[in-house]
Amino acid sequence: MFRDDFVWGVAASAYQTEGRDVNDGAGVSIWDTFVSKGKIADGSNADVACDMIHRYKEDFAIMKTMGVKAYRFSISWSRLIPDGIGEVNEAAVSFYRDMLITMRENGIKPFITLFHWEYPQALEDKGGWVNPESPKWFERYAQVVGDNFADLCDDFITFNEPQCTINLGYVRGYHAPGKELPLKDTLFAAHNLLKAHGLAVKVLRQKAPNARIGYAPTCGVAYPASDAPKDIEAAKRRYFGFDEDLANWGWNVSWFLDPVILGRYPQEGIDLFKDDLFEITKEDMELINQPIDFIGQNIYNGYPIKAGDNGEIVYEKRDRGYNQTAMGWPITPSCLYWGPKFLYERYHKDILITENGMACCDYPAPDSAIHDGERIAFLDKYISNLQKAADEGASIMGYFHWSYCDNFEWTDGYTKRFGLVYVDYPSLKRTIKDSGFWFKEVMETNGKNL
């Protein structure tokens, strides 16, 4: 059973939904630059996206119809502070304040994410997260967020999927800003990001003393191939451990969570990276280790692990023809059982599922409805697994579905649909999918209909 105060919600991010307005005064973000270089699968950009900048009132009315009680969204840093550190854009302040007010009028609890990837280009030009000043830049941004929105919001999340910022943005170059930096620089960038998290938590504690504050990393979940204790132990070791391929270091769980919750980097990583590490000071670790209220986790899939004859970690082959989402992500419902369970065992903190969901090939049927039974089947299995983790004692605080509506899926443009609400991009008309009606019942019954 989910607890009585379980948070049920839907999530989205600024860049993926808002779009632009000629009068909005926004600055340029690294994603604006990246899309202008033709890096998007369908050649699109996010200039319109879901046009939430003009349609948020309609969207909150739709959410109300769907029985949504909480909305996790992000503030665009480069919209709020166009060059990242200078003058505050009052048009953005008014916009986000009105958004927060409208949400509350519709009985929807806001969860603000400070950073969901669209970093100000002006700061990237100074080196971005590799610049030692970068934590301070984020601190200032957090101050502006606190000063302007803390009276309207009780829940904050500092970073969304920091692993993607570092790994996709700086190691692989698949995401903005499209860099492929040496290990030494990417480790330092991650350290600066973690310091920025610590500074933001401190600032938000001052500005919003009663708020709950969390942080939302991600990772594929290593889950045991069987219930044998040795497989469970091997999966756990892999989940918090490191991939032998150093280029995958940025997907790691413990490197991004141990410092925040336990105040230290994992020894396995320190040993692995010894030739490329910067000096790790006690002061930095204390800063990163600010008390937080919950661990947010974006969980989409996992991979099976078993123990070899000598207990070593063995990657189990997936079944031939295993199910995948339209992203090509494997469908592995038990990741929503094992992930939260492992995390709770290691960190003893409330776990908030900040994202989960699937991309489907949705289309309007002849009756104009969107019959996304595949998504319902996916969610039914995934959320039931989460419930099992809660029943067995993991403290699960809530679940946000990704996403509220179809939106701009980064390098996949508009080709991938994650929403509970269908967006017809030419007309921008919204239609609640079958899954949206189904999820309404899940929220209303606190998961008792699963």
Q: Which is nearer to ligand NCW, 238 or 417 (CB)?
A: 417
For residue 378, give both structure tokens. Answer: 């996916």
Is 355 an active-site residue?
yes
- Asked whether 435 and 372 are in contact (CB, 8 A), the reply is yes
**Per-residue contact string for residues 428-447; x = within reach of ligand NCW by CB under 6 A:** --------------------
Window 368 to 407, contacts with ligand NCW (CB under 6 A)? 402
- Asked whether 379 and 401 are in contact (CB, 8 A), the reply is yes
The three-class DSSP label of residue 216 is strand
Give yes or no for residue 356 binding ligand NCW (CB under 6 A).
no
Q: Tokens 């003893």 appear where?
A: 348
Q: Which stretch binds ligand NCW (CB under 6 A): 159-167, 263-271, 341-349, 436-444?
A: 159-167
Residue 2 CA to residue 294 CA, distance in Å, equals 16
- 140's CB contacts (< 8 A; 6+ apart) are 81, 85
* Best CA proximity match to 230, nearest among 304, 312, 340: 312
- Asked whether 47 and 114 are in contact (CB, 8 A), the reply is no
Q: Which is nearer to ligand NCW, 74 or 334 (CB)?
A: 74
Q: Which is nearer to ligand NCW, 60 or 418 (CB)?
A: 418
Tell me the number of residues near ligand NCW by CB under 6 A. Answer: 12
Catalytic entry in 18, 118, 355, 409: 355
Give yes or no for residue 129 binding ligand NCW (CB under 6 A).
no
Give yes or no for residue 303 binding ligand NCW (CB under 6 A).
no
Give yes or no for residue 331 binding ligand NCW (CB under 6 A).
no
**Per-residue contact string for residues 166-205; x = within reach of ligand NCW by CB under 6 A:** --------x-------------------------------
Least distance (Å) between residue 164 CB and ligand NCW:
5
Interface residue with ligand NCW, options 161, 258, 362, 406 (CB under 6 A): 161
Least distance (Å) between residue 132 CB and ligand NCW:
27
Backbone φ and ψ of 135, nearest 5°: -60, -35
Q: Which stretch binds ligand NCW (CB under 6 A): 35-43, 157-165, 227-235, 336-344?
A: 157-165
Exposure class string for 377-404: b at 16+ Cβ within 10 A, else e: ebbbebbebbbebbeeebbbbbbbbbbb
DSSP string computed for 349-416 = SEEEEEE----B-----TTS----HHHHHHHHHHHHHHHHHHHTT--EEEEEEE-SB----GGGTTS-
Q: Which is nearer to ligand NCW, 231 or 409 (CB)?
A: 409
Least distance (Å) between residue 161 CB and ligand NCW:
5
Window 14 to 33, contacts with ligand NCW (CB under 6 A)? 16
For residue 71, give both structure tokens. Answer: 């909305």
Catalytic entry in 118, 161, 180, 312: 161
Interface residue with ligand NCW, options 410, 414, 422, 439 (CB under 6 A): 410
Q: E strands of 12-147, at which residues? A: 70-74, 109-115
Give yes or no for residue 160 binding ligand NCW (CB under 6 A).
yes
Give yes or no for residue 134 binding ligand NCW (CB under 6 A).
no
- Rg value, the chain, Cα: 21
Give yes or no for residue 297 binding ligand NCW (CB under 6 A).
no
- Asked whether 197 and 278 are in contact (CB, 8 A), the reply is no
Site residues (vs ligand NCW, CB under 6 A): 13, 16, 160-161, 164, 174, 298, 355, 402, 409-410, 418
Q: Which of the residues are catalytic? A: 161, 355
